[in-house]
């Protein structure tokens, strides 16, 4: 039982050059899409509480269209509690006034647009199927109806100079959006760029691009509340925070993951039951991604099974602080975010 639901809509009009996610062509039968989600929920047999957060991701959820979202809202698949957060991811090319009006009327109160860049040549190389002007118009349409509209950007895209990256950041900041996510490019197996043999971004260049973004966003009033996420006060993504805090969530749709009790289900539907220690470690160490800080004392109070880790963690955290990788609250500094995976691996090492 959970109050957090992720719905995956694995449909796209084309595949971006960096994408290795599960996706297919636009759906021909929208009622069948909604019916499949209902059947999956019934098959899984997992009851849902009135939802605190609902996240519709993809792919391109907008490809079910206004009528599809009306069917979804009236399907009985979920109910929302008062004040719930309902997020929908949107591709700028799929945004229309009718769609935005429909989403707002149904109660969607948070949008995330995959802009990635405001440079047309870069967007063309990425096969994004939209231009910078289309992205700006999509943001305008969305914000008029749903003020909590944010965008995603990708740092260290191939061929992007530091000057071009700063121009993209300046364009984003001029929009005064409540939320901006900045992800570093990774060349995933199965993507077009991986098949072409493209190498991942040079680490120093990728770090410089992220540091530039973090500096510009911080000076504009954004808080880096998670590795790749920056928000104005009051606009953190509650759905994702639940995941990073180690909370349960149900995922429905081809490619969706779930975390319920000690059962973790991946995007292929394969379920794995974790033992108590691995379950606790997985839940608490995602918290190191956050700006809230990591407290071994609080962790052990919540998960006594991790008591043997406490002394070792205290020693490691002290070393990381002295190296300037963590601040006094054990939250990552900008330098710490650069090597966060290594810090987590060190904390995962079993005590002797």
DSSP string, 50-117: EEEEEEEEES-GGGGHHHHHHHHHTSSS--EEEEEEEEEEE-GGG--HHHHHHHHHHT--EEEEEEE-
- The helix or strand, by DSSP H or E, that contains position 9, with its residue range, turns out to be strand 2-9
| pLDDT over 80 (residue 20) | yes
Predicted confidence band at 301 (pLDDT cuts at 50, 70, 90)? very high
pLDDT tens for residues 239-264? 999 999 999 999 999 999 999 999 99
Distances (CA, A) of 42 to 29, 45, 252, 343: 20, 5, 11, 40
Token pair in block for residue 118? 């405001």
Mean pLDDT of the chain: 96
Predicted confidence band at 23 (pLDDT cuts at 50, 70, 90)? confident
What's the CA gap between 108 and 137, in Å, rounded? 19
Q: What is the pLDDT of residue 351?
A: 77
pTM of the complete model: 0.96
What's the CA gap between 131 and 144, in Å, rounded? 20
- Specify the CATH class of 2-242 in words: alpha beta
| pLDDT over 90 (residue 138) | yes
Q: What is the pLDDT of residue 21?
A: 87
| pLDDT over 70 (residue 352) | no
Q: Which is it for strands 271-273 and 263-265: parallel, antiparallel or unpaired?
A: antiparallel
- The helix or strand, by DSSP H or E, that contains position 249, with its residue range, turns out to be none
- The helix or strand, by DSSP H or E, that contains position 285, with its residue range, turns out to be helix 276-285
Spatial CA neighbour of 242 closest among 1, 5, 77: 5
Q: What's the mean pLDDT in 115-144?
A: 97
Residue pair 179/112 in contact (Cβ under 8 Å)? The answer is yes
């Amino acid at each position: 039982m959970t109050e957090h639901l992720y719905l995956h809509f694995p449909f796209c009009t084309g595949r971006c050059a960096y994408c290795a996610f599960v996706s297919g062509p636009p759906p021909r039968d929208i009622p069948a899409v909604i019916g499949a989600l209902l059947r999956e929920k019934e098959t899984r047999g997992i009851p849902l509480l009135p939802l605190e957060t609902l996240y519709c991701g993809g792919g391109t959820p907008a490809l079910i269209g206004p009528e599809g979202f009306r069917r979804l809202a009236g399907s009985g698949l979920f109910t929302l509690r008062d004040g719930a957060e309902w997020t929908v991811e949107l591709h700028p090319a799929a945004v229309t006034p009718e769609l935005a009006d429909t989403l707002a009327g149904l109660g969607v109160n948070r949008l995330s647009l995959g802009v990635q860049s405001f440079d047309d040549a870069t967007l063309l190389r990425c096969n994004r199927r939209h231009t910078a002007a289309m992205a700006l118009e999509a943001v305008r349409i969305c914000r008029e109806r749903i003020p909590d509209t944010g965008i995603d950007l990708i740092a260290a895209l191939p061929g992007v100079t530091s000057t071009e990256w700063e121009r993209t950041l300046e364009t984003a900041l001029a929009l005064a959006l409540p939320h901006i996510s900045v992800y570093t490019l990774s060349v995933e197996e199965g993507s077009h760029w991986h098949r072409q043999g493209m190498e991942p971004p040079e680490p120093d260049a990728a770090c410089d691009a992220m540091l530039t973004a973090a500096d510009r966003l911080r000076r504009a009033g954004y808080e880096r509340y998670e590795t790749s996420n920056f928000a104005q006060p009051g606009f953190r993504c509650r759905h994702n925070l639940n995941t990073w805090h180690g909370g349960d969530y149900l995922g429905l749709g081809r490619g969706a993951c779930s975390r319920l009790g000690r059962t973790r289900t991946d995007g292929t539907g394969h379920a794995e039951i974790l033992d108590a220690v691995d379950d606790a470690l997985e839940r608490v160490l995602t918290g190191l991604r956050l700006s809230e800080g990591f407290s071994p004392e609080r962790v052990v109070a919540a998960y006594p099974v991790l008591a043997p880790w406490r002394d070792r963690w205290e020693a490691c955290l002290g070393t990381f602080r002295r190296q300037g990788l963590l601040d006094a609250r054990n939250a990552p500094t900008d330098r710490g975010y650069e090597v966060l995976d290594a810090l987590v691996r060190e904390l995962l090492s079993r005590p002797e």
